[in-house]
Structure 1
Amino acid sequence: MDRAVASEVALRCHRALEPLHSFVYFAPEVEQAFIDAGLESGRMPYFAGRAAPLGPVGAGVVAATFYNFNPRLVARCIPKAWSLVEPTEIVKLRFAGAEAALRRLLGDAVDAPELAELAELVREAAEACTPEGRPLFAAHADLPWPDGPVATLWHGASLLREHRGDGHIGVLVAEGLSGLEALVTHTATGKGFRADVAKRLRGWSDEEWVSAEKQLCEREILDADGALTPRGEALRTRLEERTDEVASAPYRRIGEDSARRIAELAKPFARTVLKAGGIPRELFANR
């Protein structure tokens, strides 16, 4: 599989698998388990759940590996979370909650032979990833694989997501975009969170957002209305294309047929998750 085809397949797989990972951030089963165990409500369950495989690290490590969150927001949750619930316990609760939520969202589809086939292919792709330069992926990859196809599918999709995310951060750094600037430009594409949601969930004030927009205007990435300029459009296209390229290695290793089969199998399950409300659509822009 040549690099252009591999990049295209990587994007297809990412789009098909993303809902099968990211529902976990909105699943009441996961958040309630964390709160019952002792974590505080709000943003702490998100930061603690995703960062727990790293161990009891400080706020700086979490802010660096998550990239586009305000470090002050992270510092309100980390490392306090580790004094409330041990990271190893958080990992166990997250796996159990994720499986319970995915079973609820998929309903009878969890017993479909296609899900078991997808889980095995996703595991094969995840195990074909390499950890160099990808700290968050590496931490999650050090965790033992869970039992059963449902939990295996979620863990495998999560590994591929974190592998891609670490690579994306490398691309952002190479392009000279800070975490906030990356968030502002992505929001300007109309393909991510609404701006008000992005500010709230990532912890940025209106003043900080406007300051970032001004800096991006000076670089001719945004125009005076906060929209992407042609230069900004080209930048975002380059970022996404480069991200697809650096995310494509595991799919090249398992081969084009297996990779395309992942996308084919994952799409109907992803649609089921979305239809069941696994990811709140009102948080996202309409474009």
Structure 2
Amino acid sequence: MTEPHTDVTPGAELARPCHKSLEALHALIYFSPDADEAFAELGLDTRPMRYFAGRAAPMGAVGAGVVAATFYNFNPRIIADVIPHAWSIADPAAVIETRFRAADTALRKLLGEQAIASDELAEAAALARRATEACRPEARPLYAGHADLEWPQEPHLVLWHAISLLREHRGDGHLMALQEAELCGLHALVLQNSAGAGLSRQFAQASRGWSDEEWAQAQDALRERGLVDADGAVTDEGAALREHIEQRTDALAAAPWAHLGAENAKRLAAHGKQLSKLVAQNGAFPGSAFAGGARK
């Protein structure tokens, strides 16, 4: 059985709760009708094209293989259906500009002008930006692409961009942890689903593009490793491996929170929870109970 990671990394204990408190403020862009409309006007007329191109654009006009590698748990076939074709419709610079503009519109609607202009949001933006000062780009390609972008000026967009950086920095580290655990993207997705975490199987398969046969093959592979049982439920060994991966992810994501310090990290998390509650109450995730995917 895999033993939990026991190294004490400064900031690691803050990484997961801070991530959870802020995640909804970034993820709202993927549910926003304003973002859908803005990307459609640009010519990106399908949801997969908008998602893959919108998130990958900071890396430049990369090919489908790079997007599949950095997004990890999506079937490369569905990425190849839209990348690199998306770059022939709109170059990455235009996609980036549209994404920031859509984030601005969505945040103003969901937060309201009072929250947008509040001291609390300004403090959250300053703290989140300070946290990103400790992020390093080595072996983190998706983070590095986003880190090369110019900072916006308005506090609510500074906050959104900083959260995007922290999220992609953590996500790239999560992929390192999955690689150490010898889990490919599909196997990580199936193991997470077997534990009753994250996306439902139906939504995970549909949105990530995996067939029933591919899912069953992944379950067989996990069963051979003793990570799921005959019924497809996670075993004790599988649960221990998942916790080990989460702890490694926290350790790899710790630097920003150690840099910020416990008191400021907790202040940022408190602001994040308050703002996340506000956007959820105002319909940021219509028809969907927000939950993170296998990529962190």
The answer, yes or no, to whether TM exceeds 0.5 is yes
The one of 122, 129, 137 equivalent to 2:128 is: 122
The one of 166, 182, 186 equivalent to 1:180 is: 186
Cα 1:281–1:161, aligned 2, differ >3 Å: closer, same or farther?
Answer: farther
Structure-1 residue corresponding to 2:4 = none
- CA-to-partner distance for each residue in 1:214-248, whole Å, 9 max, x for gaps? 11111110112211000010011111111011101
What letter matches 1:161 in structure 2? R
What letter matches 1:127 in structure 2? E
8 Å CA contact 2:10, 2:258 repeated in 1 = no
Counterparts of 1:96 and 1:247, CA distance in 2: 28
Counterparts of 1:279 and 1:204, CA distance in 2: 24
RMSD: 1.5
What letter matches 1:203 in structure 2? G
Deviation at 1:30, TM superposition (A): 1.1
Structure-1 residue corresponding to 2:209 = 203
Which runs of 5 or more structure 1 residues have no equivalent in the other structure? none
Cα 1:102–1:3, aligned 2, differ >3 Å: closer, same or farther?
Answer: farther
What letter matches 1:179 in structure 2? G
Alignment of 1:192 onto 2:201? no
Counterparts of 1:194 and 1:280, CA distance in 2: 17
Q: Indicate the SS of the match to 1:215.
A: helix
The one of 39, 44, 61 equivalent to 2:44 is: 39
Counterparts of 1:231 and 1:79, CA distance in 2: 40
8 Å CA contact 2:9, 2:254 repeated in 1 = no
4+ runs deviating over 4 angstroms: none
Q: Indicate the SS of the match to 2:38.
A: helix
What letter matches 2:174 in structure 1? H
TM-score if structure 1 supplies the norm length?
Answer: 0.95
Alignment of 1:53 onto 2:58? yes
Larger proportion of helix: 1
8 Å CA contact 1:186, 1:192 repeated in 2 = yes
Structure-2 residue corresponding to 1:215 = 221
Which runs of 5 or more structure 2 residues have no equivalent in the other structure? 1-6, 292-296
What letter matches 1:246 in structure 2? L
What letter matches 1:105 in structure 2? L
After superposition, residues 88-107 of structure 1 pair within 5 angstroms as: 88-107=93-112
Alignment of 1:141 onto 2:144? no
Counterparts of 1:175 and 1:112, CA distance in 2: 44
Alignment of 1:240 onto 2:235? no
- CA-to-partner distance for each residue in 1:24-74, whole Å, 9 max, x for gaps? 111111121111111121310000000001111100000000001000000
Counterparts of 2:290 and 2:121, CA distance in 1: 28
TM-score if structure 2 supplies the norm length?
Answer: 0.92
8 Å CA contact 1:191, 1:284 repeated in 2 = no
After superposition, residues 146-157 of structure 1 pair within 5 angstroms as: 146-157=152-163
8 Å CA contact 1:193, 1:283 repeated in 2 = no
Structure-2 residue corresponding to 1:73 = 78
- CA-to-partner distance for each residue in 1:127-182, whole Å, 9 max, x for gaps? 22111110000000000001111111100000000000000000000110000001
- Aligned residue pairs, count: 284
8 Å CA contact 1:184, 1:213 repeated in 2 = yes
Structure-2 residue corresponding to 1:254 = 260
Deviation at 1:283, TM superposition (A): 5.6
Q: Indicate the SS of the match to 1:56.
A: coil
The one of 23, 34, 38 equivalent to 2:28 is: 23
- Quick one: percent identity of the two aligned structures? 51
8 Å CA contact 1:193, 1:284 repeated in 2 = no
What letter matches 2:222 in structure 1? L
Structure-1 residue corresponding to 2:294 = none
8 Å CA contact 1:222, 1:228 repeated in 2 = yes
8 Å CA contact 2:48, 2:82 repeated in 1 = yes
Deviation at 1:206, TM superposition (A): 1.2
What letter matches 2:149 in structure 1? L
Structure-1 residue corresponding to 2:115 = 109
8 Å CA contact 1:194, 1:283 repeated in 2 = no
Structure-2 residue corresponding to 1:165 = 171
